[in-house]
Amino acid sequence: MGLEAVVEEIREKGRSEAEKIRLESKQDVDAILAAANKKAGEIKLAAEEESAKQAAHILSQEVSAANLLVKRELLNTQKALLDQAYEAVLKDIAALPESFHREAIKKLLAEAKKEIPKGKVSCNARDVAAAKAVIAENPEFSGFKLGEPVNIDGGILVEGEGAELQIDYSYRTFLSGVWESGLKDASDILFG
């Protein structure tokens, strides 16, 4: 064997060895790339899931906030309507004929007399004549005298002698009591 044959054989072994190393490197690179792609896919999937979860959470918060705002507006509107109804009732009661107010004053004064037998009776300017007539026409009310007109929707305010005891029998006071006790029922009927 000549020197050329030995060199050729060494070259052939070198080529074979280089090809084997290249093949092993390619397999290593492919395995590393496959693992990296798998890891990247897992990260991408986890990020997409987290993103979807956060988007759903934000959407849920926004929907809840919007629902709360709508409910608040609805309640404010309902309250405004109920307030209008309350004021309309007071206005309608005030517009009733003088005979109604006169009879109401008589009944309220009889009720007040149970707690305050003598004192001063005050009413609004509209009802002064009716109150004066009720006190003058009914001997059981002789212990009462008429005070100055007060700013109430109707009814009476009674103050005992010495101003120790006061009773508020104004229409607004009675309506407020009825209103508070019946507000839930009225709201249920009106707004279901």
Do residues 29 and 15 both lie within one domain? yes
d(CA 75, CA 69): 10
Residues 116 and 184 in one domain: yes
For residues 69 and 150, state if they share a domain: no
Give the neighbor-by-neighbor strand order of the sheet with 166-170: 144-146, 119-122, 155-160, 166-170
Residues 30 and 71 in one domain: yes
- What's the CA gap between 87 and 81, in Å, rounded? 10
Report the domain count for the chain. 2
CATH number of the domain residue 104 falls in: 3.30.2320.30
> Distance between CA 188 and CA 166 in Å, rounded?
36
Q: Is pTM, for the whole model, over 0.85?
A: no
Local mean pLDDT, 10-residue blocks, the chain (192 residues):
74 82 84 85 88 91 91 87 86 90 93 91 93 92 92 92 87 86 72 65
Q: What is the structure's pLDDT at 183?
A: 72
Last residue of a domain, one of 63, 95, 127: 95
Predicted pLDDT at 191: 65
> Which pLDDT belongs to residue 180?
80
- 73 and 122: one domain? no
| Residue 115 β-bridge partners | none
Spatial distance between the Cα atoms of 66 and 60, rounded to a whole number of angstroms: 10
- The type of residue at 161 is E
In this prediction, residue 97 carries a pLDDT of: 92
Picking from 47, 71, 95, the residue at the C-terminal end of a domain is 95
In this structure, the answer to whether residues 45 and 108 fall within a common structural domain is no
Q: Which domain holds residue 52?
A: 1-95
Q: How far apart are CA 170 and CA 173, in angstroms?
A: 5
Q: Residues 88, 153: one domain?
A: no
Domain boundary (41, 72, 95) is at: 95
**Residues 25 and 8 placed together within one structural domain of the fold:** yes
What is the pLDDT, as a whole number, of residue 40? 84
Between CA 89 and CA 92 the distance in angstroms is 5
User: Is the same domain home to 69 and 125?
Assistant: no
